[in-house]
Amino acid sequence: MVTRHQVLVASNRGPVSYTAGEGGELTAKRGGGGLVSGLSTVKGDAVWVCAALGDGDREAVRRTGGRLDPADTDGQTVRMLDIPPEVFSDAYNGIANSVLWFVHHMLYQTPLEPAFDTEFERQWRSYETYNAAFADALAEDAAEGAVVLVQDYHLTLVPGMLRERRPDLRIGHFSHTPWAPPDYFRMLPDDPDGGVAAEVLRGILGADRAAFLTQRWANAFTECCVKLLGAEVSVGDDGEMVVVHEGRETRIGVHGLGADAAFLRERSRRPDVDERMASLREQIGHDGDGNPRKTIVRVDRTELSKNIVRGLHAYRRLLDDHPEWHERVVHIAFAYPSRQDLAVYRDYTAEVSRVAQEINAAYGTGSWTPVVLHVKDDFARSLAAYRLADVALVNPIRDGMNLVAKEIPVVSDRGCALVLSREAGAFAELAEDAITVNPYDIGATADALHRALSMEADERAERTKRLAAAATALPPTAWFTEQLDALRG
Ligand code: F6P
C-alpha cells in the first residue's frame, strides 16, 4: 500500500545518484545544493520525486521499485522514476537543455537556430510523456490537500497535468532559471491554441503559485502570459502579482535563494579543504618580492551561459593593459563537466581549455602559470579556492541567481572583491557592494578585474561583510519553508 505524503517535491535531478561498480554493486552519491538542504528540514512527511538519470539510477530503481533505501538518502524519502531512456533523453537533452534552457538564457545564434521541425515535434511529445510520468507519480503519492513543489524548466507541464488529476492539491512551481522576455520567448512555436509556448505557460499557470529567483524573471513571466495568452495581471492585497487566465488565478512569488552559511563555514574548515589549500598555494606561488600571488577565482559548471571564455579573454586583456600584474596574479578557473551528451557543451569545454593554454603559452614564465584550470569536479578544492580568493569573477551572460557569487564572500578568508555580471540574478541583491560588469564587454571586465585587484584591504573587508550578509538573507531552509507557508496560507 502506498504511503501518502503531505509535502511533495518534484525535480528532474534528485538528491542522490548511483553508479554501478564492475561487480554490480551500487554506490550512492548524495548531491549538494540548495534544494537538498532545504528539503532536509521537512524529512518526516515529505517525499522527493525525481528521475533516474543514468544506468546506475535505473538499476537502483529496478532493485527497489523506485522507493530508494533511506540509508542512501540520509533518511529522506525519495521516489525515483525510471522513465524509458529514449523518452528521458528527448525530454532532458532535447527539450529541457537544448530548447527551454537556450530560450531562457537567450543562447541561440539565431541565423541558423532554432529550427522547429519534425525532430523537435517528436522530442516535444517525449517531454509531454516525461511530464505526465511525474504528474502520475505525484498524484499517486499525495495525501488529500497536500502541498506539491514542482521545480524548474524540466517540469513546466506538471502543474497543469497534476491539477487535472488532483484538483484538491496545493501546487507550486519554482523556476531556477531566468525567464525570457516575450520577444525571445515567442521564438517557441506560439500558436495560442496549441503552440508549445502557450503550453509551457498554461502548464505553469496550473499551479496556485509560480515562483522565481528575482523580480526581473517574475516580471518577464507575467509579460509572456499577457502577450502570448492574453492573461490579466493584478497585484493582490499581500503585494504579490496575480495572473488571471481562463478563470483561474496563479499567484507569483519571488524567493531569492541564499547561501547556506552554517554549512559552508563548517565544511570549508575541514582537513580535506586545508590539504587542497596547501596544494593550490603551491600552484599559485609567490611574486618577485616573495609575497603570495593574488588570485582571481571562478568556479562554474562548464556551462555556455557562464561566460568562461570571455572571462579568460578579459583576464588576457588585463595582462595586456596592466603589465604590472605579470607574475603577481593567477586566475584560478574551475570549470566542471556538465551536459557532455550535447556536442555544443563538449565544444565549449574544449574552447575553455584551448584559451587557457593559449594564455599560459603567451604570458607564462618558468616560475608563473597565469591560468590554473581544473576540470575535474572536487567540492573540497572549490571551497579551498573560495577561501583563497582575492577576487571572485562571476560574469554569466544570463543566470537565474548564481550561488557562487553568494558563497565566495561567505567563505573567503581575507575578504574578496566580487566582479559581478549585471545579468546574474544575484545582481539584484549584491550589486551595491560588487564591481558590476556588462558580461559581453571584455575591456570593461578587464578594468573591473584591475579595480578589484587594487582594492584596499579595509574596503574589501567591509564590502565582503555586507556581501555575505546579503548573500545569506534567505538560507535554503527558509527559502523552502517560505514557499510552503505561502502555498498553505
Ligand atoms: O539552474 C537550473 C539547474 O537545474 C540548477 O538547479 C542546477 O545547478 C543546474 O541547472 C544543473 O543542471 P543539470 O541537472 O542539467 O546538471
Instruction: Render pLDDT for 254-283 as a digit per residue (tens, 0 to 9).
Output: 999 999 999 999 999 999 999 999 999 999
Residues of the chain with CATH 3.40.50.2000: 5-257+478-488, 261-471
Instruction: Please tell me whether the peptide bond between 439 and the residue prior to it is cis, using omega within 30 degrees of 0.
Output: no
Distance in Å, CA 176 to ligand 1 centroid = 8
Mutate to test the pocket of ligand 1, among 17, 301, 399 (most ligand atoms within 8 A of CB): 301
Query: In the predicted model, is pLDDT for residue 355 greater than 70?
Result: yes
Q: Name the pLDDT band for 42 (thresholds 50, 70, 90).
A: low
- Indicate the CATH number for domain 5-257+478-488: 3.40.50.2000
In degrees rounded to 5, what are phi and psi of residue 164? -60, -40
Grid cell of 92 as nine digits: 532532458
Distance in Å, CA 265 to ligand 1 centroid = 23
pLDDT at position 173, please? 98
Distance in Å, CA 291 to ligand 1 centroid = 39
| Beta-carbon-side half-sphere exposure of residue 356 (alpha carbons within 13 Å) | 19
Q: How far apart are CA 404 and CA 471, in angstroms?
A: 10
Can you tell me which atom of ligand 1 is nearest the CA of 12? 14
Can you tell me which atom of ligand 1 is nearest the CA of 338? 16
Query: In the predicted model, is pLDDT for residue 154 greater than 70?
Result: yes
Q: How far apart are CA 130 and CA 65, in angstroms?
A: 18
Closest CA to 311 of 419, 410, 177, 463: 419
Report pLDDT digits (tens) over 189-200: 987 677 999 999
Between the alpha carbon of residue 369 and those of residues 87, 198, 315, the distances in Å are: 45, 51, 13
Grid cell of 406 as nine digits: 553568494
pLDDT at position 41, please? 67
Instruction: Summarize the confidence of residues 46-62 as an average pLDDT.
Output: 96
Q: Does residue 104 contact residue 179 with C-beta atoms inside 8 Å?
A: yes
Q: Name the pLDDT band for 39 (thresholds 50, 70, 90).
A: confident
Q: Name the pLDDT band for 489 (thresholds 50, 70, 90).
A: confident
Q: Does residue 6 contact residue 46 with C-beta atoms inside 8 Å?
A: yes
Give the single-character DSSP code of 424: B
- Closest protein CA for atom 15 of ligand 1: 339
Distance in Å, CA 90 to ligand 1 centroid = 17
Q: Which residues line ligand 1 (CB under 6 A)?
A: 13, 152, 176-177, 338-339, 400
Is the pLDDT higher at 14 or at 36?
Answer: 14
Mutate to test the pocket of ligand 1, among 176, 214, 304, 305 (most ligand atoms within 8 A of CB): 176
Distance in Å, CA 301 to ligand 1 centroid = 9
Mutate to test the pocket of ligand 1, among 13, 35, 102 (most ligand atoms within 8 A of CB): 13
Distance in Å, CA 156 to ligand 1 centroid = 15
For every residue of 190-205, DSSP letters joined together read: --TTT-HHHHHHHHHH
Q: 289 Cβ partners below 8 Å, 6+ apart? A: none
* Residues linked to residue 244 through DSSP beta bridges, in sequence order: 232, 249
Q: How far apart are CA 184 and CA 105, in angstroms?
A: 10
The C-alpha torsion from 451 through 454 and 455 to 457, rounded to 10°, is: 160
pTM for the model: 0.96
Between the alpha carbon of residue 386 and those of residues 163, 185, 196, the distances in Å are: 43, 36, 41
Report pLDDT digits (tens) over 431-450: 999 999 999 999 999 999 99
CATH class of 261-471: alpha beta
Q: How far apart are CA 66 and CA 49, in angstroms?
A: 10
Q: Given the DSSP bridges, would you call strands 417-421 and 391-394 parallel, antiparallel or unpaired? A: parallel
| Residue 393 Rama label (left phi>0; alpha psi -120 to 50; beta) | beta
Q: 326 Cβ partners below 8 Å, 6+ apart? A: 319, 363, 368
Can you tell me which atom of ligand 1 is nearest the CA of 151? 4
Give the single-character DSSP code of 398: S
| Residue 87 Rama label (left phi>0; alpha psi -120 to 50; beta) | alpha
Distance in Å, CA 178 to ligand 1 centroid = 12
- Closest protein CA for atom 7 of ligand 1: 176
Q: Does residue 484 contact residue 476 with C-beta atoms inside 8 Å?
A: no
CA 346 remoteness from chain centre: 19
Is the pLDDT higher at 390 or at 31?
Answer: 390
Can you tell me which atom of ligand 1 is nearest the CA of 35? 6
pLDDT at position 238, please? 85
- Residue 23 exposed, middle or buried by CB count within 10 Å (0-12, 13-18, 19+): exposed
Distance in Å, CA 70 to ligand 1 centroid = 24
